[in-house]
Chain A
């Protein structure tokens, strides 16, 4: 779908995060139009996960502004970010390990479909309908990832690759406008990665979702994303089409170093 250029879904300006004396991110900015599929790459320690933590309210920025759907949400709590429509997965999987796969997803459905406390305690018909609806919707989401038959398994018992998919299904259960994926292909073999790419693309197209992927796997980024942003040492280095970014001397320097720097080392 063509991105609507006029009003960006997400507008971030001057985002800076300092941990004590360490500047993890400095003056980060990005404009994301609805429907885009963007890759965020950078060498280790570049600040990618810091960007994701700031964009989901997990950490508060030292400076800068996050405007989502025309609303300044800087400094709000993580659950408010989610309620506004930003969902995420985690680099190191953070499933609710002792809950079933289905309960992982339905726990996230509570945000938009959960019944009121009194109604749930009294087991009113509305609450029971809501529970049935959540279970059905949870299974549908799991089915997107071919995981419906694992619904009653404990999340911790699933193999690694499937756990990653449950994380994406759980994030989708919050019904986001913007989905942030933190290294979704980490630890996957090439075949699994290709399958994951198909799933991400399918989700993107079917739900008309805007997705930002942080990833080390260049084949995934280059094959999937229409636009790539590169950061290094907490600063934006390049932003553009994959081919254009790949040819950017600054990016090559960040990843490979320069001839002179290597000679001097």
Chain B
């Protein structure tokens, strides 16, 4: 019990420390750097949320950018200035064209839409395993791209939505990153998370222990998709324009690389790897520009990935969280008793 209390106070302490860091950053850094940090934060949301499906449940999904697209477009259409919606998005029904929402409800609506999309898509797609699932979720990105291209009355098609209000700042990103980590952490530490890991370890045994496979799989997929949808909304309101090609296969691989580097199923690992890879990319960008060696970032990231796979194939943290963050006392038997079940057993009396 004291262990849990320690865990909570540690979590609260880290959250406050992060908030102080965000406050210091917004007070001292220029806009360019703040934007880079915000991107890193969005990467944290993406990597951590994908951990539920890819790390805990053992589904190999590449579909995160598709759910970001759903969330991004829905949120952007909702926050778009009503005065310009009429001629830019002519097919929008009048009741929708008249709306101009603040960021929070727009993000939530985007997340909900992404979650619904995940449930609809998940029913057929989650019957697949391993590489087949990876390819099917990859296909999702292209299907969505085609849908956005063809619904040009709602999305401006290939032109993309531009002039999205720049509502996302570092505080928004930080808040959602904390929320994402909290949700995923709680799921992982709960018995539901344990059944997800059980599925990853052995599906048949999990089913025989009463785990409803299809429902659990869909749940992991959908929670991840909701958070990805919200991340997509944040992304759209940070970049201020969204085209069908903004969120694609390259991003999907980047997120997966973060998870593999961090360790499959480790939330700490996903967050650390997301920050680390974002830092590498941003530190190398000036080097690329001065030396003219464009693509250096990808090569370095690929080398890091190969190195980790060779020397530490389970990733930085394996499937675990660092012990000091766990804050969980190791449970023990109250006292040594003779090994006989007591009469509180639910079997008793009913037969």
Question: Which A residues are within 8 Å of any B CB, using their own CB?
Answer: 34-35, 56-58, 77-79, 81-83, 87-88, 90, 94-99, 102-104, 106-115, 117, 120-123, 127-128, 130-132, 134-136, 138-140, 143-144, 146, 148, 151-152, 170-171, 173-175, 177, 202, 206-209
Q: Which residues of A contact B131 (CB under 8 A)?
A: none
User: Are B331 and A102 within 8 A (Cβ)?
Assistant: yes
Q: How far is the CB of B52 from chain A (nearest CB, A)?
A: 11
Q: Which residues of A contact B347 (CB under 8 A)?
A: 175, 177, 207-209
Q: Can you give 7 A-B contacts (C-beta < 8 A)? A: A77-B212, A90-B205, A98-B201, A99-B197, A99-B201, A110-B211, A123-B186
Give Cα A88 to B190, complex, Å. 24
Q: Which residues of A contact B24 (CB under 8 A)?
A: none
User: Are A128 and B208 within 8 A (Cβ)?
Assistant: no
User: Are A121 and B187 within 8 A (Cβ)?
Assistant: yes
User: Are B207 and A79 within 8 A (Cβ)?
Assistant: yes
User: Are B351 and A206 within 8 A (Cβ)?
Assistant: no
Question: Contacts A90-B205, A121-B183 given: A131-B191 contact, CB under 8 Å?
Answer: yes
Q: How far is the CB of A81 from chain B (nearest CB, A)?
A: 8
Q: How far is the CB of A144 from chain B (nearest CB, A)?
A: 5
Q: A79-B209, A117-B192, A121-B183 are in contact. List 4 more A-B contacts (CB 8 A).
A: A96-B201, A99-B197, A140-B333, A175-B347
User: Are B330 and A152 within 8 A (Cβ)?
Assistant: yes
Q: How far is the CB of A183 from chain B (nearest CB, A)?
A: 15
**Looking at the complex, which one of B4, B206, B332 makes contact with A107 (CB distance below 8 Å)?**
B206
User: Are B202 and A117 within 8 A (Cβ)?
Assistant: no
Q: Which residues of A contact B190 (CB under 8 A)?
A: 114-115, 120-121, 127, 131
**Looking at the complex, which one of A108, A121, A138, A139 makes contact with B210 (CB distance below 8 Å)?**
A108
Residue B198 CB within 8 A of the other chain: yes
Residue in A closest to B347 when the chains form the complex, CB atoms: A207
Question: Which B residues are within 8 Å of any A CB, using their own CB?
Answer: 4, 183, 186-187, 190-192, 194-195, 197-198, 201-202, 204-213, 219, 319, 330-334, 337, 339-341, 345-348, 351
User: Are B204 and A58 within 8 A (Cβ)?
Assistant: yes
Q: Which residues of B contact A209 (CB under 8 A)?
A: 347
User: Are B191 and A110 within 8 A (Cβ)?
Assistant: yes
Residue in A closest to B198 when the chains form the complex, CB atoms: A107
Residue in A closest to B214 when the chains form the complex, CB atoms: A77
User: Are A114 and B192 within 8 A (Cβ)?
Assistant: yes
User: Are B346 and A175 within 8 A (Cβ)?
Assistant: yes
Residue of B205, B209, B213, B330 with highest tally of chain A CB at under 10 A: B209
User: Are B341 and A144 within 8 A (Cβ)?
Assistant: yes
Among all A-B residue pairs, the 7 with the closest Cβ atoms: A111-B210, A120-B190, A96-B201, A82-B210, A78-B207, A94-B205, A108-B209
Question: Contacts A177-B351, A208-B348 given: A143-B333 contact, CB under 8 Å?
Answer: yes
User: Are B207 and A130 within 8 A (Cβ)?
Assistant: no
User: Are B186 and A79 within 8 A (Cβ)?
Assistant: no
User: Are A114 and B191 within 8 A (Cβ)?
Assistant: yes
User: Are B201 and A139 within 8 A (Cβ)?
Assistant: no
Give Cα A207 to B202, complex, Å. 27
Q: How far is the CB of A108 from chain B (nearest CB, A)?
A: 4
User: Are A107 and B209 within 8 A (Cβ)?
Assistant: yes
Give Cα A4 to B208, complex, Å. 27
Give Cα A135 to B1, complex, Å. 12
User: Are B341 and A99 within 8 A (Cβ)?
Assistant: no
**Looking at the complex, which one of B194, B197, B331, B340 makes contact with A151 (CB distance below 8 Å)?**
B331
Q: Which residues of B contact A177 (CB under 8 A)?
A: 347, 351
Q: How far is the CB of A250 from chain B (nearest CB, A)?
A: 32
User: Are B213 and A79 within 8 A (Cβ)?
Assistant: yes
Q: Which residues of B contact A108 (CB under 8 A)?
A: 198, 209-210
